[in-house]
Amino acid sequence: MASCGSVQENLTAWVDGELSPQWTERVREHVVRCAQCAAEAEGLRASIAVQRTALARLTAAGEIDVAALHARLRRALAAEAVPRRSVWSWFVRPLVLAPAFAVLAVLVLFTAAGGPTDVLVPLGVASPPPAVKRAPGLFKDYTLIEHLDELQHFDTVESEPLDDDQDAQTG
């Protein structure tokens, strides 16, 4: 005969009819002979009936506005149905915007370098001023001409004596 300990561990499942046929029979035989386990089983059976009723009351949702919940669910489903932006678009979008950013960057660089004219005229991309156009020979030196103000005191620049000069003086 099974021990009281092993039977009592299985009593709830026995009352619920959830034991295998073999164990069901084993527990039944024990309970017939053991008054203590029989009382325990009867107590569990009564308690489970009360628990079932009380739990049903505690989990009853009461009044539910099913229509409102349904409408909410429909809205949620509709939102789910809207195609989300694919990951791919996060890569495509920069490619579309890249030229615009490139133009902006060039403009910023031109401005930092003194303006588009100072950059494009020496490069031959933009037309030189009319005065330079009239003397094409000067065009190649246009950038130099632009900086003549800085070169007007060129002759006052103190330069280091050349090696040849030093040799002549010592010789």
Partner 1 sequence: MGAAVNTEDDPDVELMLAVQRGDRSAFERLFEKHIASVIGFATRFVGTRARAEELAQDVFLQVYKNRGRYEPRARFSTWLYRMVTNACLSEVRRADYRGHKQSMDQPGEDGEDPPQVASARSSEDDVVSHEILERMRGALDELPPQQRAAVLLARIEGFSYEEVSESLSCSVSAVKSLIHRATVTLRDRLKEDCV
- The answer to whether residue 25 forms part of the interface with partner 1 (CB under 8 A) is no
Our CB check for partner 1 shows the closer of 30 and 121 to be 30
Q: Report the alpha-carbon distance of residue 91 to residue 63 in Å, rounded.
A: 50
Q: Report the alpha-carbon distance of residue 133 to residue 139 in Å, rounded.
A: 7
Count CB atoms within 10 A of the CB of residue 14. 23
- The answer to whether residue 51 forms part of the interface with partner 1 (CB under 8 A) is yes
When binding is defined by CB under 8 A, the residue of 4, 73, 92, 113 that contacts partner 1 is 73
Phi/psi-derived region of residue 82, left when phi > 0, alpha when psi is between -120 and 50, beta in every other case: beta
Phi/psi-derived region of residue 166, left when phi > 0, alpha when psi is between -120 and 50, beta in every other case: alpha
- The answer to whether residue 140 forms part of the interface with partner 1 (CB under 8 A) is no
Nearest approach, Cβ of residue 38 and partner 1 (Å) = 15
Nearest approach, Cβ of residue 12 and partner 1 (Å) = 4
Overall size of the chain counted in residues: 171
Our CB check for partner 1 shows the closer of 19 and 34 to be 19
How is residue 51 annotated by DSSP? Answer: H
- The answer to whether residue 78 forms part of the interface with partner 1 (CB under 8 A) is no
Q: Note the residues at the interface with partner 1 (CB under 8 A).
A: 9-13, 16-20, 43-44, 46-48, 50-64, 66, 69-70, 72-73, 76-77, 80
